[in-house]
Amino acid sequence: MRRLAAVMAAAGLGLTAACTAGGDQSGGGPAADEKQTIEVWHGWSAPHEVKAFQDAVAGFGKSHPNITVKLVKGQTDERITNAIRGGNPPDVVSSFTTDSVGQWCKSGAWQNLAPYIAKSKLDLDQFPPAVQQYTQYKGTRCAMPLLADAYGLYYNKGLMKGEEPPRTMGELTTLAKKLTRRDPDGTIKVAGFMPSVQYYEHQVQHLAPQFGAKWLTGDGRANFAGDPAFTAYLKWNRSLIDWYGYDNVKEFLRSMGQEFESSNPFEKGKVAMAIDGEWRTKFIQEEAPKLDYGTAPAPVSDDRASTYGGGFITGTVIGVPRGAKHAQAAWEFVHYLTTDTGALVTFANALGNVPSTIPALSSPKLTLPPQFRTFLDVFKNPNSSTTPPTPNGNDYIVRFEKFTQDEWEPGKVGDLGPALTKLDTEVDDALKLAGG
């Protein structure tokens, strides 16, 4: 739920210059079976979120009665980073974004968990491949997954009038035009689908991969000019914006309600179809319980119809920071919370997120609405993908998003090829500065 704010903050953490990787710290502090108190920092702050975390943690106290857990809510990546730099970190830290994993792993700000994993004989194959990817950087695994987010298509059944959800971008475009309603002056009353990256979760990282876009080359360089999928995505984006009229799009965006409030335009019936995360089911349940809606995987480009079913996935991550005073007990906590099916299901039910292990995905104790099944399937689908980690976080995503929003959508770019080549150079220069 807090992904947007976390994503935009991730690019500026600057961890690499301030932290240096340490050695094996898995034997640090008291033994795990000694009596001790560990401090755990997490980002959840709303009362129901805090209670959900407490409920998920309760089982750990029963299996580890010697370890008292002190939970500290509402913590940000910036606070975590400052505590690590200052040499006074908590024992366990978690983050809503995976975008900083490359920085944390490369710098050693979050400990390499390989020694802990080996001692615990933990089977990493209980996590889907994309999850294994976003919790490590170049072979260093410094994070574990704690619940996940999967993205799919939400559609308003009343506005759809019996139409099936689109499977390809061509079908989406046709249906979006058919379902759009305008005032006589062209103002958008109901948007069939709003293609702009400024529409909440319609960010580039959630839509471009549906065209097959690969963010980085095999040697870790920017791939915007070299991968025709980016051009295909941008041309699709602009064609639908041009059909609406850019000024009409801007006016509609200005009129939108808050993403995480009942004024959200999808919940109000002002948008027929939208890409969103699984958490929207929980919001609809609480804010718009009478809304008749369905969910489906996000459409893919017409030339990739066989890959339909996958989508963008990411998740909350948790780890042990460098300098943790109770490292062994901290790992026991991380191990429990990220692999215990009961804890994950309890947490997922309360927050409306996807459990991050394959066993938890099939638990009969999941009590989520039927529309949630789509996101469990997307999460398991081999065609699902995530954004690769880098030493400077999500800088390449931020740059591409800014280009799309500020230059491409308003029609300021004539020749796309040189513009993407220039963007590649800027991204690569920034990666070099970060040691990538």
In a domain, 390, yes or no: no
Is 383 within 8 Å of 129 (Cβ atoms)? no
The pLDDT value given to residue 140: 96
198 and 344 both lie in a single domain: no
Rounded to an integer, the average pLDDT of 212-229 is: 96
The dihedrals phi and psi of 40, each to the nearest 5 degrees, come to -120, 120
The pLDDT value given to residue 257: 84
Q: How many domains in the chain?
A: 2
The pLDDT value given to residue 251: 97
174 and 235 both lie in a single domain: yes
The pLDDT value given to residue 99: 83
Per DSSP, the residues of 176-213 read HHHH-EE-TTS-EEEBS----TTSTT--HHHHGGGGT-
Whole-angstrom Cα distance, residue 87 to residue 22? 13
CA Rg value for the chain: 22
298 and 333 both lie in a single domain: no
The pLDDT value given to residue 23: 59
235 and 349 both lie in a single domain: no
The pLDDT value given to residue 13: 45
Judged against a pLDDT cut of 70, whether residue 385 lies above it is answered with yes
pTM: 0.88
7 and 81 both lie in a single domain: yes
Residue 301 belongs to domain spanning: 150-307
In a domain, 187, yes or no: yes
33 and 113 both lie in a single domain: yes
Query: Band of the pLDDT at 258, cuts 50, 70, 90?
Result: confident
Rounded to an integer, the average pLDDT of 249-278 is: 94
136-179 pLDDT tens trace = 999 999 999 999 999 999 999 999 999 999 999 999 999 999 99
Residue 277 is encoded by which pair of tokens? 């995360």
Better-predicted residue by pLDDT, 301 or 436: 301
Specify the range with the lowest mean pLDDT, choosing from 2-11, 115-124, 230-239, 319-328.
Answer: 2-11
Identify residue 331 by its one-letter amino acid code.
Answer: W
Query: Band of the pLDDT at 282, cuts 50, 70, 90?
Result: confident
116 and 227 both lie in a single domain: no
156 and 285 both lie in a single domain: yes
Q: Quote the DSSP letter at residue 435.
A: T
Judged against a pLDDT cut of 50, whether residue 8 lies above it is answered with no
In a domain, 16, yes or no: yes
145 and 159 both lie in a single domain: no
Per DSSP, the residues of 39-83 read EEE----SHHHHHHHHHHHHHHHHH-TTEEEEEE-S--HHHHHHH
117 and 23 both lie in a single domain: yes
The pLDDT value given to residue 27: 67
Q: Which of 307, 333, 348 is the last residue of a domain?
A: 307
Query: Band of the pLDDT at 434, cuts 50, 70, 90?
Result: confident
Judged against a pLDDT cut of 90, whether residue 368 lies above it is answered with no
- Return the percent helix, strand and coil in the chain, to nearest 5: 45, 15, 40
In a domain, 410, yes or no: no
In a domain, 248, yes or no: yes
In a domain, 418, yes or no: no
In a domain, 210, yes or no: yes
50 and 107 both lie in a single domain: yes
Judged against a pLDDT cut of 60, whether residue 2 lies above it is answered with no
Q: Which of 327, 345, 374 is the last residue of a domain?
A: 374
Rounded to an integer, the average pLDDT of 420-425 is: 98
The pLDDT value given to residue 113: 98
Q: Which of 358, 374, 390 is the last residue of a domain?
A: 374
In a domain, 165, yes or no: yes
156 and 283 both lie in a single domain: yes
Judged against a pLDDT cut of 80, whether residue 326 lies above it is answered with yes
103-144 pLDDT tens trace = 899 999 999 999 999 999 999 999 988 899 999 999 999 999
Judged by DSSP in three states, 36 sits in: strand
* Domain at 278, CATH number: 3.40.190.10
43-54 pLDDT tens trace = 998 888 899 999
Rounded to an integer, the average pLDDT of 225-240 is: 98
**pLDDT over 90 percentage in the chain:** 83
Whole-angstrom Cα distance, residue 351 to residue 285? 12
